[in-house]
Structure formats: structure tokens, C-alpha cells
């Protein structure tokens, strides 16, 4: 994909998520790998609803900013995924309401943040890791992701928001929307003893769709 087409796709998908309330104000950030091994990244302080394709931060393959505005302060998060997951072609971070609400509740399993309610939550996300709270912009968030050694494509930052890596920008956006939908389903059914997927059903999905499911 050309730089121009990728810029347009990033802004189109970001606006779609903003318009549907998945992240508001100037929250969230998004990045994608370019054909030459560089990165296009949303600038700091920008709204997903009003990203300008021509002002996205452009990094070369050596990680040097060569054009565009100053990038998001959450670059350590993005870099950690790209550096530890060779399959990562895009990274998305949102402040989506239901997933953040779920991260605040007690008795959440930090190694498996989302209950197995639907097949698509398993297929698109694998096992989601709940990370502790960090101050926004703290480089320690990136170090926490690096500590997972590339074993997770999705993490949840407690009291903050989800971060998902995908093979490309569309896959990453689809996956993070699935994360938010599953969190919403979890809250809607909390205390009602929902019939989730059994261990056998989960394992069948993991096997058939080659899902990363290691602890």
C-alpha cells in the first residue's frame, strides 16, 4: 500500500471509531507500518475524528521522525509491540468506556482479562493481558509490554484503555473493537450467570484458527 493510501485509511478508520464513541476528545492513538519499514503515527493531542493525513508523524525505518507533527506521547507502547512482534503491522490504543470500566472491577484475572463469551473475542484477540495502572506517557508501559516477549497481541491498561497490535491497520481496528464489545457484553451480563464458551469450545477455536493462547 502506498503512503498516501495508508494515510487515508488510518484517518478513515480512526474517524469511524471516534464517530461511534469508541474514543473521545483527543484520546487514543494509532500507528501503522509503511511499505519501506517506517511508521505513520497519529500526532500528540489530536482527535481521532479530525486526523489530517498530511500531518501524521512519519518515521523512517531507523525510527527517526522525518516529517509531520510531533507523535503521540504513547510512542513507547507502539514501539514495544513493533519491536517484540514481527507480525505487527499496526497498533491501536483507545480509551473505550466499557473496557476501562471492566478494568476497574475486582476479581478480574490479569492473565485473561476477558471472559470467553463469543468465538470472535477468542479468534481476534487471543488471551488479553491486564497490565497495572501507569501514568499516561510513562515509558514503563512500553517496558511492561516488552516484558510479555511478544506473546500477547492485546493488552488492557488498567484505568486507561486497551492496546492492540494487528497484521495491518484494518485487522488491529477490528480486533480492538471486538475487545470493547466483549467488555460491554461482560458488563451487561454481570451477575446473570451467562453461558460462556466451555474450555473445550475455546480450545477448538484456538486449534482451528491458530490462536495465540499461551499464558
What are the C-alpha distances in Å from 179 to residues 60, 67, 124? Answer: 30, 32, 9
> Is 82 known to be catalytic?
no
CA distance 100 to 136: 14
Catalytic residue among 8, 82, 120, 143: 120
CB 81 within 8 A of CB 155: no
Q: Which residues contact 126 (CB under 8 A, 6 or more apart)?
A: 152, 153, 154, 211, 212, 213
| CB neighbourhood size of 108 (10 A) | 17
Catalytic residue (choose from 74, 177, 178, 180)? 74
What values do phi and psi take at 129, rounded to 5? -95, 130
User: 3-state class of 13 per DSSP?
Assistant: helix
Is there a catalytic annotation at residue 74? yes
Q: Yes or no: say if 215 and 130 are a contact pair by the CB < 8 Å rule.
A: no
Q: Cα separation of 5 and 139, whole Å?
A: 31
Catalytic residue numbers?
A: 74, 120
Amino acid at each position: 500500500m502506498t503512503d498516501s493510501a495508508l494515510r487515508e485509511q488510518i484517518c478513515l478508520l480512526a474517524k469511524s471509531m471516534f464517530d461511534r464513541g469508541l474514543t473521545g476528545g483527543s484520546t487514543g492513538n494509532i500507528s501503522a507500518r509503511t511499505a519501506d519499514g517506517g511508521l505513520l503515527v497519529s500526532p500528540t493531542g489530536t482527535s481521532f475524528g479530525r486526523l489530517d493525513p498530511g500531518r501524521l508523524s512519519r518515521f523512517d525505518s531507523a525510527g527517526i521522525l522525518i516529517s509531520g507533527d510531533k507523535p503521540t506521547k504513547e510512542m513507547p507502547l507502539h514501539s514495544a509491540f513493533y519491536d517484540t512482534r514481527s507480525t505487527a503491522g499496526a497498533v491501536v490504543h483507545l480509551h473505550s468506556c466499557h473496557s476501562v470500566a471492566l478494568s476497574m472491577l475486582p476479581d478480574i484475572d490479569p492473565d485473561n482479562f476477558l471472559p470467553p463469551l463469543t468465538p470472535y473475542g477468542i479468534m481476534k484477540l487471543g488471551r488479553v493481558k491486564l497490565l497495572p495502572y501507569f501514568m499516561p506517557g510513562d515509558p514503563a508501559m512500553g517496558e511492561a509490554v516488552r516484558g510479555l516477549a511478544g506473546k500477547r497481541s492485546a493488552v488492557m491498561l488498567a484505568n486507561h484503555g486497551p492496546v492492540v497490535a494487528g497484521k495491518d491497520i484494518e485487522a488491529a481496528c477490528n480486533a480492538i473493537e471486538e475487545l470493547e464489545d466483549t467488555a460491554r457484553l461482560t458488563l451487561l451480563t454481570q451477575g446473570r450467570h451467562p453461558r460462556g464458551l466451555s474450555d473445550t469450545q475455546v480450545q477448538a477455536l484456538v486449534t482451528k484458527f491458530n490462536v495465540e493462547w499461551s499464558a
